[in-house]
């Protein structure tokens, strides 16, 4: 008989001992459970969203994501393009070759410069020898002072022509290097205006490079509105690909003159993207600017509650719900304007606010049921 069955039969024959064994087993299990630390309960799931522009308080301008540095690239010398090595959309590294000119003409120019230098050096040696002979004769008073001065001037001029020819050779060498167009920085080729076999002039634009790094929004301000904007003004930016999420931005520059046809002023908005958020070149965006004298932000009525007789909303700080006192305007049908107490990039709890406690741990999600990273506590 197996040991398990023998023990089971023993317990059946001795009910009292079975009861004692059960009590001991229960005590051991309780002791084992009580020895561990109690786990912290998971945070309460909450629905959050960022404040939205108040009705009638915002102006919206359509824009496009652009690189902070957009560099036009061109050859420094003219010639016929032998090879085009990149196309629009290609990512390039700093120093990478983009196109090459036919090296034949550049090589001939260098050879011609080398020949000119050799000829100038030969003339310089001859002029130096002539001067030495005249100098010996002049010491013996066999030639005039004027002849001596003429030979010395000829020697100095020949030496100057050698220096000039050497400089021309250096220029020809540089031009040979200029026959390869290279990327000055890492980025993406945003524009191409040349093709293999095309003859280009010095300085003629060949490629447009959108350098890696900062991203901006390019917008056009109408004539009637440009006077209300200034460099450094804070705005909000919303991507078409991510509706409902707005990130802060600042107007970085405004063109001094209007476009001759559209009659608008080009402007650039610098983005302040949160960690983990990326934008792509060419994405469509809207830029929202608050009208003067109007509330800039609003929240749903469901986000507003009252503590000690003061209106508050719950905002996220380090994964916890924190009560933020606000000053509100006239209530609307579904939302309420917030005059002060909120920032555009705050995440506000919009459901179940009456169940929260100040500092309570929460698990925030947006309306697409995506987890939301909590903002850090302001220092």
Q: For residue 299, give the nearest of 38, 55, 22, 13 by alpha carbon.
A: 55
Please give the chain's pLDDT, 379 residues, in tens: 444 454 455 444 555 554 444 544 454 444 445 444 445 566 788 898 888 877 656 678 999 999 999 999 999 888 899 999 999 999 999 999 999 998 777 777 778 888 888 998 898 899 899 888 888 888 888 888 888 889 889 889 988 988 988 888 887 777 777 888 999 999 999 999 999 999 999 999 999 999 998 899 999 999 888 888 889 998 889 998 888 788 889 999 999 999 989 899 999 999 988 887 888 888 999 998 876 655 568 888 899 999 888 999 999 988 889 999 998 887 877 888 888 888 888 899 998 888 888 888 888 888 888 888 755 544 4
pLDDT tens per residue, range 56-105: 566 789 999 999 999 999 998 888 999 999 999 999 999 999 999 987 77
In degrees, rounded to 5, the angle at the alpha carbon of residue 26 between the alpha carbons of residues 22 and 32 is 145
Quote the distance between the C-alpha of residue 246 and its chain's center: 17
CATH assignment, 58-68+213-290 = 2.40.30.170
**Domain segments of the chain as ranges:** 45-55+295-365, 58-68+213-290, 70-98+179-210, 103-177
**DSSP state letter for 37:** P
User: Sign of the C-alpha dihedral, residues 163, 164, 165, 170?
Assistant: positive
Q: Are 130 and 149 in contact (CB under 8 A)?
A: no
Contacts of residue 266, defined as CB under 8 A and 6 or more positions apart, other chains included, come to 218, 219, 220, 221, 254, 255, 259
For residue 149, give the 3-state DSSP assignment: helix
Owner of token pair 């908005």:
269
Fold assignment, 70-98+179-210: OB fold (Dihydrolipoamide Acetyltransferase, E2P) (2.40.50)
pLDDT tens per residue, range 121-174: 898 899 899 888 888 888 888 888 888 889 889 889 988 988 988 888 887 777
Fold assignment, 45-55+295-365: 2.40.420
- Tokens matching residue 58: 């915002």
pTM: 0.53
Quote the distance between the C-alpha of residue 274 and its chain's center: 12
Considering the domain delimited by 103-177, tell me its CATH architecture: Orthogonal Bundle (1.10)
Owner of token pair 């034949």:
104
In degrees, rounded to 5, the angle at the alpha carbon of residue 214 between the alpha carbons of residues 191 and 181 is 35
């Amino acid at each position: 008989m197996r040991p398990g069955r023998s023990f089971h039969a023993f317990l059946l024959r001795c009910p009292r001992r079975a009861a004692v064994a059960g009590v001991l087993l229960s005590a051991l299990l309780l002791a084992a459970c009580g020895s561990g630390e109690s786990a912290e309960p998971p945070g309460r799931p909450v629905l959050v969203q960022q404040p939205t522009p108040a009705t009638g308080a915002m102006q919206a301008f359509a824009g496009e994501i652009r690189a902070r540095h957009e560099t036009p690239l061109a050859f420094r010398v003219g010639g016929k393009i032998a090879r085009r090595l990149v196309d629009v959309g290609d990512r390039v590294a700093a120093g990478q070759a983009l196109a090459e000119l036919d090296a034949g003409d550049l090589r001939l120019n260098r050879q011609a410069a080398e020949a000119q230098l050799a000829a100038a050096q030969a003339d310089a040696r001859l002029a130096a020898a002539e001067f030495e002979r005249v100098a010996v004769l002049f010491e013996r008073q066999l030639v005039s002072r004027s002849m001596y001065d003429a030979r010395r001037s000829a020697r100095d001029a020949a030496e100057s022509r050698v220096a000039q020819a050497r400089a021309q050779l250096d220029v020809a060498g540089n031009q040979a290097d200029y026959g390869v167009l290279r990327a000055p920085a890492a980025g993406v080729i945003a524009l191409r205006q040349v093709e293999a076999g095309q003859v280009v002039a010095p300085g003629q634009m060949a490629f447009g490079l959108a350098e890696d790094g900062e991203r901006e929004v390019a917008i056009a301000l109408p004539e009637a509105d440009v006077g209300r904007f200034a460099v450094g003004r804070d705005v909000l930016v919303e991507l078409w690909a991510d509706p409902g999420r707005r990130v802060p931005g600042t107007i970085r520059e405004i063109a001094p003159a209007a476009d001759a046809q559209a009659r608008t002023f080009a402007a650039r908005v610098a983005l302040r993207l949160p960690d983990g958020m990326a934008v792509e070149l060419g994405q469509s965006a809207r830029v929202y600017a608050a009208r003067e004298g109007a509330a800039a932000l609003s929240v749903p009525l469901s986000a507003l509650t009252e503590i000690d007789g003061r209106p508050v909303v719950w905002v996220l700080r380090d994964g916890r719900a924190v009560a933020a006192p606000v000053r509100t305007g006239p209530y609307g049908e579904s939302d309420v304007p917030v005059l002060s107490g909120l920032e555009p990039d705050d995440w506000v709890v919009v459901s179940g606010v009456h169940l929260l406690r100040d500092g309570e741990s929460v698990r925030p999600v947006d309306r697409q049921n995506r987890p939301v990273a909590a903002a850090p506590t302001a220092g």
